[in-house]
Amino acid sequence: MSLTGLLWAGIGLLLTIAGTFIEPAILVPSWQEGSLRWLTYSLTSSAQVAAMLLTSCMGGAEASFLAQVAYLALGLSRYPVFSQGGGLGYWQEPGFGFLIGFLPAAWLCGRWAFRQPVTLEHLSLGCLLGLATVQFFGAIYLGLLTLGGGLHGGATALPGLLWQYNIWPLSGQLALVCGVTLIAFLLRRLLLY
């Protein structure tokens, strides 16, 4: 891996850690009592997926994959970088399947981003491929945890878990895909790669 790739892996690790604890919101203009005010609306998701996708679009498959491996290694070795803490017992958390999905998603999105010309369409398709991969792995993991009874805190019905972890945050994640696509497109044009 090149020095640039290692730098992007480090940047990706830092972005993913920070993104775990950042709740993105959008600003919406509103006229109230004759004056313009800006209201914020939460996107019901963390910026974690967006950080992984941005790293994939900017650093490529290897750098983004390495960043996600480092992120999982830190979290599983008890550093509180996951949204619910960290440690080996984190596999019982419903969100752990999504974190596992970061590995193939980072690779696929990064491969797509650098195999195709730098256009908004290709970058957005790569990001959507990455998001779909994360969602797929998360849903499969939720199903396996539910069937095996391995959920931390007791059993919960699968439809409720799918709603809470897959469907509810999806609209916010799709909005973040749009933002990541635009940022990656502008940065790749600006940096000439």
Residue 103 sits in a domain of what CATH number?
1.10.1760.20
Residues 6+ away with beta carbon under 8 Å from 94: 141, 142, 145, 151, 156, 161, 164, 165
Residues 6+ away with beta carbon under 8 Å from 34: none
For 17-31, write each residue's pLDDT tens digit. Answer: 999 999 999 999 988
Residue 158 has pLDDT above 90, yes or no: no
37 - beta bridge partners?
30
DSSP 8-state code for residue 77: T
For 91-133, write each residue's pLDDT tens digit. Answer: 889 999 999 999 999 999 999 999 988 999 999 999 999 999 9
Domain span at residue 179 reads 3-190
Question: How many whole angstroms from its chain centre is CA 183?
Answer: 15
For 152, phi and psi rounded to 5 degrees? -70, 130
